[in-house]
Every structure is written in C-alpha cells, then in structure tokens.
Amino acid sequence: MTILDIQKALAAKGFDPGALDGAWGRRTAAAVRAFQTSKGLLADGVVGPKTVKALLPDAKSAKDSLDDVTIVWFQEARRLMGLRETAGPGSNATLLDWADKLGIDYDSDDIAWCGLFVAHCIGATLTTEPLPNNPLSARSWMKFGGPCTPRPGAVMVFWRGSREGWQGHVALYVGEDSKAFHVLGGNQSDSVCITRIARDRLLGSRWPATVPLSKAGPRKVSATGVLSKNEA
C-alpha cells in the first residue's frame, strides 16, 4: 500500500485528496480526517490500522518498515531524495518555499538546512504537529515530540564539533550497522540523501507527539560508505 493508493481510495469514496501524485500534503491529510469522521473514527489524519481497514480493507502490510505509509513525513523525505542546494550565487527556490510556508526566516541555502528539511517533512504532512521553536537549529529538535528508541522515521539528533557545544545535525532514521546510523536528511553533501553517522554522535531520537509510536524495531543494514564527519 502506498500514499497514491490511499489518495485513489479517498477519491473513489468522494473525499478529495487533491492531486493524485503520491505526495502527502495538507489536502490529503484533510481528506483522511473527513473520511475518519464519516466512519466514526478518531479524526487525527493518521492512516493507522483502523483507518486502513475502513479505507482499504484488502491492503497488505508493508514488507519493509521503510514503506510504512503511517510514517508519512518519512515518505515525503524519500520523495525528495536527490534535491540539491544551488551551487554558487543564488539559492534553491524549493528550500526558500519550504521556509516561507512554515514562516521560518531563511533566505539563503548557504545557511545549514538540515533542520529546515525535517521541518518541511513534518510540517507538510503532520499538519497539527508542533515544531520546535527554532527548527533551523538541529539541537532544538531534542525538544520535538517525545523520546523513542531509533526506528524508521525517527528524528535523529547528532552533535557536531563537540557533544557539549551548540552545533548539530538532524535527519531521519533509515537503519543502522554496528558502527553507524544510516539517516536520510538534507544538507548532507549539499543534498537530500542517505549518509552514515557514527553511533557515538547521537544525542537522541524523537517521535511525533501526534502519531502513535511505530512498532518497528531497529533496521539492520550493511556498513557501506564512509562515515560522515561534517554535515554542514
């Protein structure tokens, strides 16, 4: 089951999710809430087991925990893989648009945008989820949602420079090997991609307050690629 499957099912039942494009936006979330209300379900906009049963009774569970459609913010992050900041003068208009829609003061992709990327993924898909007061600051994400053990979609906060300092990096959990966490994030090699960050750099992992904690556990992956040293 994919986000596009959900959008098509909503449209077929008379609930307008907007464009059938596989991207989870505010109109899709609103359509889910309207559908849930019509079925007497909690109208939280989260496509959990009860909503799936009512909307797509024949849907099969995802074989890979990365494909779980309930972690819609992570699916948005995957959709954006490959997006890059603009080299030299000028900035990627997509990044500036994210900031504008979220009301964040951000005018150049020369400024670290890992926090902006995570803020976009959360804000565009979980429309009632509170963001940190300063989402551009990676370490401010330690106050986001609630604590959790690492699992697909978890917001992972790392230190840069020194553990006691102010610099940091924030991204989304993909998997882990014996030495590193594999995370999907922005401003990694100036792009949205997956990279490996040493386990001892982790400050904490967080889960959105408005979404039930996923039952998925750690996802083991092969230790391929070099360790990232500086994500700025």
The pLDDT tens digits for 110-139 are 889 999 999 999 999 888 899 999 999 999
Q: Is 3-61 a CATH 3.40.50.1820 domain?
A: no
- Domain(s) labelled CATH 1.10.101.10 in the chain stretch across 3-61
What one-character DSSP code corresponds to residue 89? S
CB 205 within 8 Å of CB 215: no
Query: Mean of the per-residue pLDDT values for the chain?
Result: 92
Task: Kindly provide the residue ranges of all beta strands, DSSP E only, lying in 23-159, ordered along the sequence.
Answer: 146-147, 155-159
List Cβ neighbours of 8 (8 Å cut-off, separation of 6 or more).
20
Q: Does residue 187 have a pLDDT over 80? A: yes
Per-residue pLDDT at 67? 87
Six token digits for residue 226: 């070099």
Per-residue pLDDT at 197? 97
Mind listing the pLDDT tens digit for each residue in 6-55?
999 999 999 999 999 888 888 998 999 999 999 999 998 888 888 988 99
- Domain(s) labelled CATH 3.90.1720 in the chain stretch across 72-207
Q: Considering the domain 72-207, what is its CATH architecture?
A: Alpha-Beta Complex (3.90)
Mind listing the pLDDT tens digit for each residue in 131-147?
999 999 999 999 999 99
**Share above pLDDT 90 across residues of the chain, in percent, rounded to a whole number:** 72
d(CA 135, CA 102): 10
Please provide the distance, in angstroms rounded to a whole number, between the alpha carbons at the two ends of the chain. 35
Q: Are strands 146-147 and 155-159 parallel, antiparallel or unpaired?
A: unpaired
What pTM value is reported for the model?
Answer: 0.89
Please choose, from the candidates 32, 37, 1, 39, the residue with its C-alpha nearest in 3D space to the C-alpha of residue 17.
Answer: 32
Per-residue pLDDT at 231? 84
Mind listing the pLDDT tens digit for each residue in 49-67?
889 889 988 877 777 889 8
The residue written with tokens 């039930």 in the block is 212
